[in-house]
Amino acid sequence: MSSTSVYTKIQSLGLELPPLAIPAAAYVPFVRSGNLIFISGHIAKRDGKVWVGQLGRDTDTATGKAAARAIAVDLLGTLHAAVGDLNKVTRIVKLMSLVNSTPDFTEQHLVTNGCSELLAEVFGDKGAHARSAFGVAQIPMGACVEIEMIVEVAAD
């Protein structure tokens, strides 16, 4: 990949990286340990507000997938703040996705694809990652989805 290819890809997708979000509680948005960046969970937002909903009750899989895609954009913004240059990413290592869902909802993996697919679009093979997707009874502030990410970056 060329030195600008990640940003060119983001721009071609019509995306803008958001600024680093201020944590809502007692934690930091990311931690770097060696070449790994651990990004705290990001909740789904729409129009700058928490994207509230419960999958299987008042939110369908397609809407949840769109929420997960929106989270991917926010995660990229945080990752950019953490490393300064997304071209330093050598691998998206892992995602953990929490989907606010009813006990009988079983498509958490399809919801989480919204994030996974965008990361693959942006990073190509470097965007392929391990992943867990869980259904949970509730997420802070009633959000429909929360996702955290671990990323490997090139040494400074």
Burial label for 24, CB within 10 Å (0-12, 13-18, 19+), is: exposed
Number of H helices, E strands in the chain: 3, 7
Q: How many domains does the chain have?
A: 1
Is it the case that residue 94 has pLDDT exceeding 60? yes
Q: Provide the mean pLDDT of the chain.
A: 95
CATH of the domain at 60: 3.30.1330.40
- pLDDT of 21 reads 87
The model's pLDDT over 43-87, given as tens digits with 9 standing for 90+, comes to 999 999 999 999 999 999 999 999 999 999 999 999 999 999 999
Crossing angle of helices 5-12 and 108-123, in 10° steps, is: 130
pLDDT digits (tens, 9 = 90+) for 100-112: 999 999 999 999 9
% of the chain at pLDDT higher than 90: 92
The strand ranges marked E within 76-129 are 89-100
Residue 156, helix vs strand vs coil: coil
Range of the domain at 138: 5-21+29-153
